[in-house]
Chains A and B, each alone.
Chain A
Amino acid sequence: MEIRGVKLKKQVRYSKGNGFFVLREPDYFSVPLLADDGEKPQRVVNVGDMVKEGTPIAKPVGRYGSFVYSPTSGKVIGVVTKLNASGNECEHVVISRDLENAKDYLPAMAEEDMNHEPLLRRLYQSGMVDNFAPYDPAYKKYLLRCQIKSLVINCTEDDPYKSSDSALIETYMSEVVEGAKLLKIVARAEKLTFIFTSKQKKLAGVLKKYIKQLNEQKRIRVKIYPNVYPLHDSRLMAYYETGKMVPEGSRTAPTSAIIESPSNCYDFYNAVKKNLPCIQKAVTVSGKNCLRKANYFIKNGTSIEHILSIVGTKEEYEENMLIYGGIMSGIAQETLDISATLTASCILFVNRDEYSRDNETACINCGKCVECCPVRIHVKNLDDAIVNREFSKAKKLGVEACIGCGACSYICPAKRYLAQRISFAKDIVQGNFGKSANSSEFAQIEQNVASNDEDEIKVEKKENFVSPQAGAEGSKPAVDEMIEQIKEDREKEKSKDTKFKIIDATGGGKNE
């Protein structure tokens, strides 16, 4: 399997091995009920309610919603609707912190409960969010009933600034491995694979030693990939691991591999062993304009302004940038009035000489973009088609395969705005230009991927599917009902002996 991508310039990184800082809690949390985009959960607290740390403040509606928990104990003082860091409008619950520090965690799990069903339920309850795009709830990818060969823990840090995953594994190695083993039970996987890049060789060696101590070398493997960008995309990682590529927007389970992040392993360990719902995230705060570059545990709903006041900046941020996410695929924010969520693992305060602002020049047809594209798009021809507004041709050239990594824009010597234009064309081709992805679209994709050809299943699924509007009218499915529903669906899928549509990446129809 040829791994393609670009080699990024090394950044001055925060020195590893110094563990984590816990950010001082702000007085007010403004918790977005939607981490990225997708299905909006149903708010269950009202203004004036007292909440404890770990009290659910939103419950999922529909088939694939997620819980949101209060990051602190205090009083709900308001509900505002504003944009989250991904640019989607959603409700934010504003909680003022009190000094009681009261905790309301999940119920404890018994030792005999450490098998598939209860752990999946705990995963559902924990409110964890997938760290790789698309940022769905974490339990979602475990629901497809496929034969899973390996659960892949993607520890690679392709973004040059990011070091939170390495630091997490270094500091909490036993927890991460334990959490990964628990997730393996959920996935019913045969093997567990940790993947590192060549720049993390040292850490991989330490992990190998630890696994040897546990005497589990046969079931847990450690793999080292070349240090290229991108490796963060889960579909791409599944392709590298299994040789099969699933279509865009679908989960990787049909390729017999599930991709998970080390931070989710750590969170799941906490959820199972310490009954702690997912309310915080290991985040790298960095950038040349940032004074105290470090890895922090940042609670869900902490405002960026608060983070800024603690880490400090060298200069005024006039003409500077705040990037939520990595430098390659993060989103530049126009205001500080946003909250940290559970999705991003990087918050960058970028200096003006750090980011590029070159003007576009004429393409010299060098083919560097074609060479580096990880999904093998002929980027140059595609760009020509988009410039000429030939979107049908763009579709033929595979614009929908684009994972939006931006490697082509990075490598281009003529500084063409390739990734930007292609993402625009992708929106146009897929017909969702100007609107964010919503649940019904997702449900459609799910059906395309998961169901076989019978129409009956589709109809039943549509009936089962609770739309957000229906949820808003008062039908709030409780946790157990949801689990029952999911179980029923799985039984149906099982009885139908579902065949998954897999598009073979090599196109030859045979697996390598």
Chain B
Amino acid sequence: MSKLLITPSPHVTKQHSTNMLMFAMICALVPTAMYGVVVFGVRALLIIGLSVVSAYLFEVLFNLLKNRKVEWIDMSSVVTGFILGLTLPVNVPVYVPIIGSFIAIVIFKGCFGGIGKNLFNPAGAARLVLGFIFTGLALSMFTGTALGENVASPLAYFAKGEFSAITIRSLFFGNVAGAIGTVSIICILVAGIVLMSFKITDFIMPVGAVITFIAITWALSGATAIVPFLFSGSFLFVTMFMLPDPTTSPNTVWGKFCYGLIFGVVASLFRVYNILGENSVFMALVFMNILAPLLDKIFAPHPLGVKRGA
């Protein structure tokens, strides 16, 4: 008698895994990174590379140190490093991405219990801490290689109400000062929509965020401010790639929608009143991460066929 194999049902699972989702994320980020390299030069590649490699190494080392199981093909730390690298400006010292990766992987991910257990988005929280440590990042004084000179990011102009200082066309095609990954709105939009259409990231949260961001900006700064505010800084990058991070966002549909809505409100308030400069979006993200478990509790689904309150 041959040996039959026994497993509990269901006997099939969907052909996707955590690593595959993360790899798709990386693929979607590559055009954005390439655009950044084209605009800012090869040094951008160095910053991203350092960030990615150090994030991976920190993950492995931390797992070894804590006697956790080391997963050698670990795409999630690569994604964290990649996103962190893309949110940094090109002229930062080389130790900044390494410190950032340490903060992201060891403090905000490892110390919270590893993948899936972190309260904050590691890259976002690390970027916020970096912004506080290295104040230049917060004030966003970048060397825009494409522009040749040390210039302030568009945020500085927009905060003063000088919307005509930078054209929308240059914002859209990344002809401005900014972080490596956040300059090209077109790449971010395309990659974000592709990710959403393949159901790799959630579409509810970004939609909610953009709705309230536009609404609040309109109410406080007028219609002329909407497009410059939306397309400048890291808002779209964070909304497309960091806000729908599965670990730190709510699980239910309404929870996700509320999460997006509140994020849009907070981010636009920070932006309009120019609090924290470039850090504002990351501050809003970390703030929302704290609210996520609460939203999960409020919008918890009620099982069918079970008495309420039983």
Query: Which positions in A face B, CB cutoff 8 Å?
Result: 6, 8-9, 235, 239, 245-248, 316-323, 325, 327-336, 350, 352, 354-358, 361-367, 370-371, 373, 375-378, 380-381, 397-398, 400-401, 406, 409-415, 417, 419-420, 423, 503, 505, 507
Contact = CB atoms under 8 A, between A and B. Distances in A.
Nearest to B199: A368
B24 to A, nearest CB: 11
Given A332-B4, A358-B13, A365 B116 contact: yes
A375 B10 CA distance: 17
A414 B18 contact: yes
Given A9-B14, A318-B2, A401 B303 contact: yes
Nearest to A333: B4
Prevailing SS type, chain B contact patch:
loop
A330 B11 contact: yes
20 contacts: A6-B14, A239-B304, A247-B305, A317-B4, A319-B3, A320-B5, A327-B10, A332-B6, A332-B11, A336-B4, A356-B11, A361-B18, A362-B117, A364-B116, A376-B301, A377-B301, A377-B303, A398-B302, A413-B20, A414-B18
Interface string B6-19: 11111111111110
Decide if the interface of chain A is mainly helix, strand, loop or mixed. loop
Q: Which are the 7 A-B pairs with shortest beta-carbon distances?
A: A398-B303, A367-B251, A406-B10, A366-B246, A401-B303, A376-B301, A245-B305
Contacts of B21: 366, 413
B252 interface: yes
Contact of B115 (A356, A364, A503): A364
A336 B1 contact: yes
A355 B13 CA distance: 8
Contact of A367 (B115, B250, B306): B250
Contact of B12 (A317, A319, A332, A355): A355
A368 to B, nearest CB: 8
Contacts of B1: 335-336
B34 interface: no
A317 B302 CA distance: 43
A413 B2 CA distance: 33
A358 B6 contact: no
B13 A376 contact: no
Given A327-B9, A355-B11, 18 more contacts: A247-B306, A320-B5, A323-B11, A334-B6, A362-B115, A364-B116, A366-B21, A380-B251, A381-B300, A398-B302, A401-B303, A406-B10, A410-B13, A411-B13, A413-B18, A413-B20, A503-B307, A505-B305
A352 B301 CA distance: 37
A420 B247 contact: no
Between B15, B302, B307, the greatest number of chain A beta carbons within 10 A of the residue's beta carbon is seen for B302
B298 to A, nearest CB: 12
A493 to B, nearest CB: 22
B305 A248 contact: yes
